Amino acid sequence: MTGRPTISELLETPGALLTRSHLRELGLGRSAIDAVFRSCEIVVFPGSSRPHIRREAYLALVEASNYGDDRIR
- Residues of the chain above pLDDT 70, percent: 93
Burial class (CB in 10 A: 0-12, 13-18, 19+), 18: buried
What are the tens digits of pLDDT across the range 29-55?
999 999 999 999 999 999 999 999 999
Q: Residue 1: is its pLDDT beyond 70?
A: no
Q: Residue 72: is its pLDDT beyond 80?
A: no
Mean pLDDT of 64-71: 80
* Averaged pLDDT score across all residues of the chain: 93
* Domain boundaries defined on the chain: 7-64
